[in-house]
A and B are shown apart, each in its own frame.
Chain A
Amino acid sequence: MRRWAAALGGTALVVAAWGTALVTPDDAEAERPFSVPVEIGDRGEGRNLAVTVTGIRAADAATIDGWDAEGPWLIVDLEAAAVQSDLRATLSHATLSVDGRTYRASERPPDSMFRSELAVGVPRSGSIAFELPEEALGDDVAVLSLGLEADPRLDSLIEVHFEPSTLDRIEEAELMSSGWAR
Chain B
Amino acid sequence: MTVDALTNRRGWWRRNALPLVGVAVLLPATFGVIAWNEWNEYFSGQATQPVVAPPGGSVEFEGAVWGPAEIEVVDPGAEFEAPAGSQVVTAAVPVDPGAHAVTCHTPTLRETTGAQREWSDATFDIGWSPAPDELGSCALTGTDPFTITVAFLVPLDATGPFAVELISPNALPRFARLLVEP
A residues engaging B (CB < 8 A)? 83-87, 119-122, 180-182
Which residue of A119, A122, A182 has the most chain B CB atoms within 10 A of its CB atom?
Answer: A122
Contact with A along B104-115 (1 / 0, CB 8 A): 000010000001
Q: Given A119-B122, A122-B155, verify A84-B117 contact (CB < 8 Å).
A: yes
A120 touches B119 (CB 8 A): yes
A87 and B153 alpha carbons, distance in the complex (Å): 13
Contact of B118 among A86, A181, A182 (CB under 8 A): A86
- Rounded to whole Å, the gap between the CB of A154 and the closest CB of chain B is 15
Q: Name 15 A/B residue pairs within 8 A (Cβ), A-sorted.
A: A84-B116, A85-B117, A85-B120, A86-B119, A87-B118, A87-B120, A119-B122, A119-B125, A120-B155, A121-B86, A121-B117, A121-B157, A122-B155, A182-B83, A182-B84
Q: Which residue of A lies closest to B85 (CB)?
A: A182
Task: Give every chain A residue within 8 A of B119 (Cβ-Cβ).
Answer: 86, 119-120
Task: List 12 additional A-B contacts (Cβ < 8 Å) besides A83-B115, A86-B120, A182-B85.
Answer: A84-B117, A86-B119, A87-B118, A87-B120, A119-B119, A119-B153, A120-B118, A120-B119, A120-B155, A121-B117, A122-B85, A181-B83
A83 CA to B86 CA in the complex, in Å? 14
- A-B Cβ contacts below 8 A, count: 41
Query: Given the interface contacts A87-B108, A181-B83, A182-B83, does A122 sit within 8 Å of B118 by beta carbon?
Result: no
Judge whether B151 is part of the interface by a CB distance below 8 angstroms.
no
Q: List residues of B (104-161) whose CB comes within 8 Å of A's CBs.
A: 108, 115-120, 122, 125, 153-155, 157-158
Contact B154 A121 (CB under 8 A): yes
Q: How far is the CB of A179 from chain B (nearest CB, A)?
A: 9
Tell me which residues across on chain A come within 8 A of B154, comparing CB atoms.
120-122
| Shortest distance between the CB of B151 and any CB in chain A (Å) | 12
Q: How far is the CA of A121 from the CA of B117 in the complex (A)?
A: 9
| Contact count band on B | 10 to 19
- Contact residues in B for A182 (Cβ distance below 8 Å): 83-85
- Chain B minimum-CB-distance residue to A85: B118
Task: Report the Cα distance A121→B125, complex, angstroms.
Answer: 15
Contacting residues, chain A, for B125 (C-beta < 8 A) = 119
Contact between chains at B153 and A122 (CB < 8 Å): yes
Contact of B83 among A84, A85, A87, A180 (CB under 8 A): A180
What residue in chain B is nearest A86 (Cβ atoms)? B120
Q: Which residues of B contact A87 (CB under 8 A)?
A: 108, 118, 120
Q: What are the 3 closest A-B residue pairs judged by CB atoms, nearest first?
A: A121-B155, A180-B83, A182-B84
Which residues of chain A have C-beta atoms less than 8 A from B122's C-beta? Answer: 119
How many angstroms from the CA of A63 to the CA of B58 in the assembled complex? 54
- The smallest beta-carbon distance between B71 and chain A, in angstroms, is 16
Cβ–Cβ < 8 Å partners of B118 in chain A: 84-87, 120
